[in-house]
Amino acid sequence: MELLDLVSLLVTQAPLVATAIAILVVYIERRIAYVEKRLSGLESRLGGLESRLDEITRSVNSLVDFNEALLSIQVGKGLLAGTEYKALQTLLAVSRPQPKTKYYTKEVYERLGQLLSKDPDELTWDDVFELEKIHDLLIMEWRESRREELARYAGKLRVAIAMAKGFLLKRGVLPPPNKPV
């Protein structure tokens, strides 16, 4: 076939090819518009979901704060003694999750063991604040790694922290003025 024949054949079929391309372009534009519309609807639904998650987080934090206050009061009134605290400390010491990543490191693991070996009468506010920092590191680690044992352990550690605060307050040791309890 000669070049002239090929060109003339293409020219005769050009309207058909142009029509097919135009149909494809219109189809693709409509699909893109449909997907964009669906995505915008999804984004608006996710925005509502984020506000609900914030509300749930605030509610859970309020519940945790209430439970901590209740535990501290029970310790202060003598309803929970050093024996219960030592039992919880022992449980926490032997069940410490293994350190594996960037937040909950080997150093944090070892420091947690040291803090958990302290007698309730030896505790200081600095120890409590350090336990709270370790709790926060466990939560950060859980969020990143999704290791559920970290979240469960952090919850138990929070109970020990509340009891430790109660023992300090029972001994009449008030927190530093610049640190909230």
In the chain, domain spans = 1-65, 80-171
pLDDT of residue 113: 93
What pLDDT is recorded for position 136? 92
Spans in the chain with pLDDT lower than 70: 1-30, 33, 40-48, 50-51, 180-181
- Residue 167 has a CB neighbour count (10 Å cut-off) of 22
| The pLDDT value given to residue 104 | 87
In this prediction, residue 114 carries a pLDDT of 94
Contact 103, 141 (CB under 8 A): yes
What pLDDT digit, counting tens, does each position of 113-166 carry?
A: 999 999 888 999 999 999 999 999 999 998 888 888 888 899 899 999 998 998
Q: Exposure string (b/e) for 108-128, b if CB count within 10 Å is 16 or more?
A: beeebeebbeeebeebebebb
Using CA atoms, how far residue 12 sits from 4, 5, 51, 68, in Å, is 12, 11, 61, 84
Pure H helices in 77-98? 82-94
